[in-house]
């Protein structure tokens, strides 16, 4: 069977070994780092057009097993895919309609998977967004604390202020802000499992008097100008292009004049949204973040501006997210046996590919992540920000 493989595949010279279940083996180059063990022979035909979503699907449906360090598997899969398919970006994906019902189901699919599973590989505060490394040797826990503090400093939080945290996750930022900056936090999530554990963690930290977390959609935030500051971290990827203006209008309406809004989220590489990574985005959309959409930075800035928010500072953290995801993936890979007892086999296969694949994607500049800080100016156009950023780094 293997000798019949297409010459284009055989000529690629990859550090890859192909094995047919319990049978023959073929090395596609010297010193293979990765073995793909084909369980379903019909897959051999499909390997002539190996998009990354197809390879990922073969693994999660057990038509193929992978052997070797997961980061090497992703890299070699990309070499294979690029070698045969080239590197032209694919067309922009179809944009999807988002309503509260579909968004709630999509969020529940991802975040209600298992708190214990997420606890295996996140930092102790279970921050589920890009960390901030002062040095490559920082631990994940340290880098997440630095990220939380970086956000609080950018928001110039002052004791007694009211902070809205849109997409609060397991409450790590809320606790950091209440504990170290003396603010009162109102946070929302669409995940019941997150909410329960976050409330428990707030109580254990003795902070529940200062933090109120609710199961609530951002579209259901009522009232106007109730908050001094608004923060949204790793949430706007769920909003969708169609709702971007409505989302930023909510943030704008919730913050008082003179207040600051921080939007921290993943952004697309191309302004028109055309795809990079030969199907990698399709895999993420199908199995990891259903209904997720990545706007470009320019689109986010444009939408914020049109909603009356003045963008005052933008920072890219792309390589920080590559490092964060590498830490998450390493943590998971070290605890696969335990993970198998917490979630089913298919989900574990999906999450292994997702964490390592996204680490690879951020390293390769397939997507970016930006912290966008904006102010809602006072009626006369003024605001209260300091003249320089020096206060952020004291």
Binding letters toward ligand SAM, positions 65-104, x by CB under 6 A: --------------------------------------x-
Region of 66-74, 231-239, 279-287, 309-317 interacting with ligand SAM (CB under 6 A): 231-239
How far apart CA 354 and CA 339 sit, in angstroms, is 15
How far apart CA 140 and CA 153 sit, in angstroms, is 20
**Judged by CB under 6 A, does residue 121 bind ligand SAM?**
no
Beta carbon of residue 25, minimum distance to ligand SAM (angstroms, whole number): 41
Q: At what angle do helices 70-85 and 318-334 cross, to 10 degrees?
A: 120
Total binding residues toward ligand SAM, as defined by CB under 6 A: 21
**Among 38, 77, 107, 350, interactor with ligand SAM by CB under 6 A:** 107
**Judged by CB under 6 A, does residue 117 bind ligand SAM?**
no
Beta carbon of residue 191, minimum distance to ligand SAM (angstroms, whole number): 4
**Judged by CB under 6 A, does residue 127 bind ligand SAM?**
yes
**Judged by CB under 6 A, does residue 202 bind ligand SAM?**
no
Choose between 78 and 293: whose C-beta lies nearer to ligand SAM.
293
**Judged by CB under 6 A, does residue 370 bind ligand SAM?**
no
Contacts of 229 (CB under 8 A, 6+ apart): 155, 156, 157, 161, 162, 163, 164, 183, 255, 259, 260, 261, 262
Cα 36-42-48 angle, rounded to 5 deg: 70
Token pair for residue 175? 């606790």
**Among 233, 266, 304, 358, interactor with ligand SAM by CB under 6 A:** 233
Beta carbon of residue 143, minimum distance to ligand SAM (angstroms, whole number): 13
CA dihedral 196, 202, 204, 209 (to 10 degrees): -120
Beta carbon of residue 302, minimum distance to ligand SAM (angstroms, whole number): 21
168 noted as active-site residue: no
**Judged by CB under 6 A, does residue 293 bind ligand SAM?**
no
Choose between 90 and 285: whose C-beta lies nearer to ligand SAM.
285
Token pair for residue 24? 């023959």
Beta carbon of residue 156, minimum distance to ligand SAM (angstroms, whole number): 19
Beta carbon of residue 296, minimum distance to ligand SAM (angstroms, whole number): 19
Beta carbon of residue 233, minimum distance to ligand SAM (angstroms, whole number): 4
Q: Which one-letter DSSP state was computed for residue 392?
A: G
Instruction: Report yes or no: 307 and 249 within 8 Å, Cβ to Cβ.
Output: yes
**Judged by CB under 6 A, does residue 50 bind ligand SAM?**
no
Token pair for residue 125? 């505060």
**Judged by CB under 6 A, does residue 289 bind ligand SAM?**
no
How far apart CA 310 and CA 260 sit, in angstroms, is 9
CA 63 to chain centre: 27
Nearest to 280 by CA among 195, 304, 288: 288
**Judged by CB under 6 A, does residue 154 bind ligand SAM?**
no
How far apart CA 52 and CA 58 sit, in angstroms, is 10
**Judged by CB under 6 A, does residue 188 bind ligand SAM?**
yes
Q: Is 283 helix (H, G, I), strand (E, B) or coil?
A: helix
| Interacting positions 237-256 with ligand SAM (CB under 6 A) | 238
Contacts of 115 (CB under 8 A, 6+ apart): 170, 193, 194, 196, 197
Region of 35-43, 126-134, 250-258, 343-351 interacting with ligand SAM (CB under 6 A): 126-134
**Among 60, 140, 174, 190, interactor with ligand SAM by CB under 6 A:** 190
Instruction: Report yes or no: 125 and 146 within 8 Å, Cβ to Cβ.
Output: no
Summary count for the chain: helices (H), strands (E): 15, 11
How far apart CA 222 and CA 209 sit, in angstroms, is 21
Residues of the shown chain interacting with ligand SAM in the complex, contacts defined by CB under 6 A? 103, 107, 111, 127-129, 167-169, 172, 188-191, 194, 217-218, 233-235, 238
Could you list the active site residues? Answer: 358
């Amino acid at each position: 069977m293997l000798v019949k493989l297409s010459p284009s595949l055989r000529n690629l010279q990859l550090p890859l070994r192909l094995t047919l279940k319990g049978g023959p083996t073929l090395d596609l180059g010297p010193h293979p780092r990765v073995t793909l063990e084909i369980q379903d022979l019909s897959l051999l035909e499909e390997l002539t057009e190996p998009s990354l979503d197809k390879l990922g699907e073969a693994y999660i449906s057990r038509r193929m097993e992978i052997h070797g360090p997961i980061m090497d598997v992703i890299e070699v899969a990309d070499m294979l895919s690029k070698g045969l398919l080239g590197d032209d970006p694919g067309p922009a994906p179809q944009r999807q309609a988002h309503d509260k019902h579909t968004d709630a189901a999509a969020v529940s699919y991802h975040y209600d998977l298992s708190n214990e599973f997420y606890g295996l590989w996140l930092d102790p505060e279970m921050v589920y967004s890009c960390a901030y490394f002062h040095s490559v040797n920082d631990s994940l826990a340290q880098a997440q604390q630095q990220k939380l503090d970086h956000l609080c400093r950018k928001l110039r939080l002052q004791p007694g202020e009211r902070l809205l945290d849109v997409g609060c996750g397991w409450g790590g930022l809320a606790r950091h802000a209440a504990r170290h900056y003396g603010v009162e936090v109102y946070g929302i999530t669409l995940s019941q499992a997150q909410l329960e554990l976050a409330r428990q963690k707030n109580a254990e930290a003795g902070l529940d008097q200062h933090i109120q977390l609710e199961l609530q959609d951002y579209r259901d935030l009522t009232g106007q100008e109730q908050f001094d500051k608004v923060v949204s971290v790793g949430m706007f990827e769920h909003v969708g292009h169609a709702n971007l203006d409505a989302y930023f209008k909510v943030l704008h309406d919730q913050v008082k004049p003179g207040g600051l809004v921080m939007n921290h989220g993943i952004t697309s590489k191309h302004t028109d949204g055309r795809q990079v990574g030969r199907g990698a985005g399709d895999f993420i959309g199908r199995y990891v973040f259903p209904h997720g959409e990545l706007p470009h930075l320019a689109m986010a800035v444009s939408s914020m501006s049109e909603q009356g928010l003045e963008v005052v500072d933008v920072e890219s953290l792309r390589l920080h997210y590559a490092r964060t995801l590498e830490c998450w993936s390493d943590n998971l890979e070290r605890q696969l046996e335990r993970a198998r007892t917490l979630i089913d086999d298919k989900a574990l296969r999906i999450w292994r590919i997702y964490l390592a694949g996204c680490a690879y994607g951020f390293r390769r500049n397939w997507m970016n992540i930006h912290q966008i800080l904006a102010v809602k100016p006072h009626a006369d156009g003024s605001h209260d920000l300091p003249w320089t950023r020096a206060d952020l780094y004291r």
